[in-house]
């Protein structure tokens, strides 16, 4: 059943609609929500939503509970290929839990948050941005490590990153939900404006695995391997030493060795190599730059090391 | 900082006087803050004239950074053009981090140790304000000093998590008395409001004994407000917005401040009224409005 949770007038003959598909079966009371599209340039979640809606409905007899699919929390952003909300300068994932009497963006955030509250699991799917390519990973605030890491392990992602608490992140959807007792896992994978079928299909299998673990799914699931769980200061950030064109043929999800070339920053005008970027550690490469133009400071890679 | 295809990225500063780090003034961080750019240019021009007459106090120094983001203004983009990040959401910065974190770190370092900091700022909602001084309530806000600007209003508000990366917030945490100067417009120049803001900054510098300056416009006895106490008027309908009252106007209870019209047949969808007498503090100014859009904030 399609339900509209936000319905706001736009100036000319149109409404802003945030919709969800509610699929229920059996007597189970558990509720699993899949949300995506907070950032309009992140599209991996679209395929995950499509596959979940398709597969759950095709195998409805295997469901014992409710799956709710929210493919687009920021429909205007997706439609206009904008990360944020058109007409607002704010990142939607910095205004949660929103405000009942605030601006349109704040009211939208408020209604989304209220609608998700009480779920047994919320999966918030992101796909990096235009600039970075990410291995499938779950990011968890250290404050929620104990409850969420065991659940994340069932998703079968490459990497579970338990990060420090930061005040600025208190305005994310995940923090707003987790801090009010609704468990929310943040998935990052792929790259902005593109869809990686393999990653999406793998995450779908992981979601069914987690649903089975939660007692909501009786169908067969693939056994998932638990990925690396990173706690504490075990991630090297490789930021560009200089501006230029970053050339690399590496993909994420590989092990690299200390001193191995990650890529080069070159000057297209002079033909010079400006910087030979090498791994400072033996480790697992889980982020690589996808957009080649870099300024001094641009992130090129992230490497986990034990 | 070098750019791959463009000229080097440079942030320039104007130093006046020498000795104690007394006050710093920071101009646009966003590429559409043209009003703020204009005001900064006028402040620098005035300070150059004051310095030429020996009007900078002995042992006091002033730093003006007219722009933290010339690169975005040159290409008409509000945020950092390469990745869309906002320098004013990156403080205190990180010199080994991403580009805008590095810019914020470099700016913050150059501002370190100043007793007073002023930022010419803009608001994310489209509209115009009565010129005012704004501060976040961090426990370190300096309301007494804010009154030295002689602006009509001084406002304070509770910081949200998102605000902890603003320059104003971090200045306060690092022991600089911080003031955001709001001068009406953002992407267009209002000469009268600009003059008011320029005079306010000079009046402040004079008030703290940093400069000797003969003011040309008398200041106000500032009214201090909690922003949470302003009356907020929002649109119940989307449509064409016809504004009758703008920032600074006095309004009577029941008076129509604006109307929202149906975009196709022109009939009135809504009349925006304030239930009490007051003064318009903020006014939305774009011709189209969304449902629930913030239209007015009124001091009552």
Listed in sequence order, the DSSP H helices in A156-239 are 173-178, 197-213
- Give, in order, the Cα–Cα distances in Å from A214 to each of A46, A69, A304: 24, 17, 30
CA B151 to CA B171: how far, in whole Å? 21
CA distance B81 to chain A (A): 11
CATH C-level class of B14-226: alpha beta
Q: In the numeric block, which tokens belong to residue B211?
A: 């400069």
Q: Report the chain A residue with the minimal C-alpha distance to residue B288.
A: A11
Angle between helices B34-52 and B191-207 (to 10 degrees): 50
Cβ contact, residue pair A88, B124, below 8 Å: yes
Contact (Cβ atoms closer than 8 angstroms) between residue B16 and residue B56: yes
Among B96, B119, B97, smallest CA distance to B170 is for B119
pLDDT profile of chain A (306 residues), mean per 10: 96 95 98 97 97 98 98 95 85 92 89 98 95 96 96 97 85 95 97 96 98 98 93 95 97 97 97 98 98 97 97
CA A252 to CA A188: how far, in whole Å? 13
Q: In the numeric block, which tokens belong to residue A199?
A: 């990653």
Task: Tell me what pLDDT residue A232 has.
Answer: 87
A107 in contact with B at a CB cutoff of 8 Å?
yes
Sign of CA dihedral A271, A272, A273, A275: negative
Q: In the numeric block, which tokens belong to residue A287?
A: 């982020």
Interface probe, candidates B99, B169, B230, chain A, greatest A C-beta count within 10 A: B99
Please state which CATH number belongs to domain A233-304.
2.40.50.100
Chain B residues closer than 8 Å to A239 by CB:
96-98
Q: Report the chain A residue with the minimal C-alpha distance to residue B269.
A: A11
Domain assignments of chain A as residue spans, ordered by start:
2-230, 233-304
Coil/strand/helix, residue A175: helix
Q: Report the chain A residue with the minimal C-alpha distance to residue B101.
A: A297
Task: Tell me what pLDDT residue B127 has.
Answer: 87
Chain A residues closer than 8 Å to B105 by CB:
none
CA B23 to CA B210: how far, in whole Å? 8
Chain A residues closer than 8 Å to B3 by CB:
243, 295
For chain B, which ranges sit under pLDDT 50?
Answer: none
Coil/strand/helix, residue B234: strand
Residues of B with CB under 8 A from a CB of A: 1-4, 9, 78-79, 82-84, 86, 89, 96-102, 124-126, 160-162, 164-165, 232, 234, 237-240, 263-264, 288-294
Burial of A267 (0-12, 13-18, 19+ CB in 10 A): middle
CB-CB: which of B3, B234, B240 is closest to A295? Answer: B3
Q: In the numeric block, which tokens belong to residue B260?
A: 């929202």
Window A:223-242, CB contacts with B under 8 Å: 237, 239, 242
CB-CB: which of A13, A102, A239 is closest to B97? Answer: A239
Cβ contact, residue pair B162, A88, below 8 Å: no
Task: Tell me what pLDDT residue A170 has.
Answer: 86
Coil/strand/helix, residue A165: coil
Coil/strand/helix, residue B179: strand
Element (H, E) at A113: helix A104-116
Cβ contact, residue pair A9, B290, below 8 Å: yes
A171 in contact with B at a CB cutoff of 8 Å?
yes
Please state which CATH number belongs to domain A2-230.
3.40.630.10
Window A:23-82, CB contacts with B under 8 Å: none
Task: Tell me what pLDDT residue A101 has.
Answer: 81
Helix, strand, coil tally for chain B in percent (to 5): 25, 30, 45
Interface probe, candidates B84, B158, B161, chain A, greatest A C-beta count within 10 A: B161
Q: In the numeric block, which tokens belong to residue B190?
A: 């209002």
CA distance B159 to chain A (A): 11
CA atoms within 13 A on the CB side of B20: 12
Q: What does DSSP assign to residue B265?
A: T
CA B267 to CA B260: how far, in whole Å? 9
Among B188, B170, B199, B215, smallest CA distance to B36 is for B188
Sign of CA dihedral B48, B52, B55, B56: positive
Q: In the numeric block, which tokens belong to residue A240?
A: 């560009």
Cβ contact, residue pair B97, A104, below 8 Å: no
Chain B residues closer than 8 Å to A95 by CB:
162
Q: What is the pLDDT of residues B51-80, one digit of tens each?
A: 999 999 999 999 999 999 999 999 999 999
Window A:240-299, CB contacts with B under 8 Å: 242-245, 267-268, 293-299
- Give, in order, the Cα–Cα distances in Å from A101 to each of A140, A234, B124: 30, 42, 17
Which residues lie across from A187 on neighbouring strands? A125, A138
Interface probe, candidates A89, A141, A173, A245, chain B, greatest B C-beta count within 10 A: A89
Task: Tell me what pLDDT residue A162 has.
Answer: 96
**B230-299, CATH topology level:** OB fold (Dihydrolipoamide Acetyltransferase, E2P) (2.40.50)
| Cα R_g (chain A), whole angstroms | 20
CA B36 to CA B28: how far, in whole Å? 6
CA A223 to CA A227: how far, in whole Å? 13
- Residue B113's CB is within 10 A of a number of other CB atoms, namely 12
Among B240, B120, B233, B136, smallest CA distance to B184 is for B120
Interface probe, candidates B238, B295, B297, chain A, greatest A C-beta count within 10 A: B238
CA B198 to CA B193: how far, in whole Å? 9
Contact (Cβ atoms closer than 8 angstroms) between residue A116 and residue A122: yes
CB-CB: which of B1, B96, B160 is closest to A295? Answer: B1
Cis peptide before A12 (omega within 30 of 0): no
Q: Which residues are within 8 A (CB) of A164 and not within 5 positions of it... i.e. 6 or more apart?
A: A142
Among A256, A260, A263, smallest CA distance to A240 is for A263
Report CA A160 to chain centroid distance, whole Å: 12
CA atoms within 13 A on the CB side of B126: 17
Which residues lie across from B35 on neighbouring strands? none
Domain assignments of chain B as residue spans, ordered by start:
14-226, 230-299
CB-CB: which of B1, B232, B237 is closest to A9? Answer: B237
Contact (Cβ atoms closer than 8 angstroms) between residue A162 and residue A151: no
ipTM of the complex: 0.85
Element (H, E) at B50: helix B34-52
Do the first three CATH levels of A2-230 and A233-304 match, i.e. the same topology? no
Cβ contact, residue pair B102, A242, below 8 Å: no
Contact (Cβ atoms closer than 8 angstroms) between residue B255 and residue B183: no
Q: Which residues are within 8 A (CB) of A229 and not within 5 positions of it... i.e. 6 or more apart?
A: A149, A153, A160, A162
Q: Which long-range contacts (CB under 8 A, 24 or more apart) does B246-250 make?
A: B246/B128, B246/B280, B246/B283, B246/B285, B247/B127, B247/B128, B247/B129, B247/B130, B247/B184, B247/B280, B247/B281, B247/B282, B247/B283, B248/B130, B248/B279, B248/B280, B249/B279, B249/B280, B250/B277, B250/B278, B250/B279, B250/B280
CB-CB: which of B82, B100, B240 is closest to A11? Answer: B240
């Amino acid at each position: 059943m399609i339900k509209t949770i936000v319905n706001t007038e736009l100036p000319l003959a149109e409404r802003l609609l945030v919709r969800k598909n509610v699929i229920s079966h059996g007597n189970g009371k558990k509720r699993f929500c899949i949300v995506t599209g907070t950032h309009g340039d992140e599209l991996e979640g679209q395929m995950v939503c499509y596959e979940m809606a398709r597969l759950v409905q095709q195998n409805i007899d295997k469901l014992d509970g409710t799956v709710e699919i929210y493919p687009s929390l920021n429909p205007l952003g997706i439609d206009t290929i904008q990360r944020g909300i058109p007409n607002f300068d704010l990142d939607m994932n910095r205004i949660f839990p929103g405000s009942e009497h605030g601006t349109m963006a704040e009211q939208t955030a408020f209604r989304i948050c209220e609608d998700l509250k009480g779920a047994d699991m919320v999966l918030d799917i992101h796909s990096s941005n235009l600039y970075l390519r990410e291995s499938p990973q779950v990011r968890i605030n250290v404050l929620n490590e104990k409850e969420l890491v065991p659940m994340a392990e069932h998703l079968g992602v490459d990497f579970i990153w338990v990060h420090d608490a930061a005040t600025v992140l208190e305005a994310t959807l995940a923090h707003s939900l987790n801090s009010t007792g609704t468990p929310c896992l943040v998935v990052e994978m792929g790259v902005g404006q593109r869809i990686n079928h393999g990653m999406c299909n793998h995450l779908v299998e992981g979601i069914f695995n987690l649903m089975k673990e939660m007692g909501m799914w009786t169908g067969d699931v693939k056994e998932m391997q638990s990925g690396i769980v990173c706690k504490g200061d075990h991630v090297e950030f490789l930021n560009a030493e200089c501006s230029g064109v970053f050339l690399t043929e590496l993909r994420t999800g590989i092990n690299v060795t200390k001193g191995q070339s990650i890529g080069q920053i070159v000057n297209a005008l002079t033909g010079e190599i400006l910087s030979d970027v090498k791994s400072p550690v033996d480790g697992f490469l889980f982020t690589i730059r996808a957009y080649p133009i870099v300024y001094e400071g641009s992130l090129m890679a992230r490497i986990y090391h034990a | 900082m070098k750019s791959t295809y463009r000229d080097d990225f440079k942030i320039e500063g104007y130093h006046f006087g020498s000795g104690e780090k007394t006050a710093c003034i920071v101009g646009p961080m966003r590429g559409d803050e043209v009003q703020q750019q204009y005001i900064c240019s006028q402040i620098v021009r005035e300070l150059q004239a004051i310095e030429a007459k020996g009007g900078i106090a002995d042992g006091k120094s002033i730093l003006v950074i007219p722009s933290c983001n010339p690169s975005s203004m040159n290409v008409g983009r509000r945020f950092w053009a390469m990745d869309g990040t906002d320098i004013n959401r990156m403080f205190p910065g990180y010199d080994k981090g991403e580009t805008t974190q590095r810019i914020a770190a470099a700016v913050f370092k150059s501002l370190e140790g100043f007793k007073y900091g002023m930022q010419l700022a803009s608001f994310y909602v489209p509209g115009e304000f009565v010129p005012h001084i704004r501060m976040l309530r961090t426990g370190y806000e300096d309301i007494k000093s804010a009154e030295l600007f002689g602006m009509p209003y001084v406002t304070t508000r509770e910081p949200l998590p998102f605000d902890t990366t603003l320059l104003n917030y971090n200045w306060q945490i690092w022991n600089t008395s911080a003031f955001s100067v709001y001068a009406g417009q953002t992407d267009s120049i209002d000469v009268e409001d600009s003059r008011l803001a320029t005079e306010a900054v000079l009046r402040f510098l004079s008030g703290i004994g940093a400069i000797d300056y003969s003011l040309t416009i008398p200041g106000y006895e500032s009214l201090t407000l909690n922003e949470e106490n302003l009356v907020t008027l929002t649109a119940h309908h989307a449509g064409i917005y016809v504004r009758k009252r703008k920032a600074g106007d006095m309004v009577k209870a029941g008076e129509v401040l604006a109307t929202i019209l149906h975009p196709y047949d022109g009939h009135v969808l809504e009349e925006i009224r304030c239930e009490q007498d007051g003064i318009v503090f903020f006014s939305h100014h774009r011709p189209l409005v969304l449902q629930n859009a913030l239209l007015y904030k009124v001091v009552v």
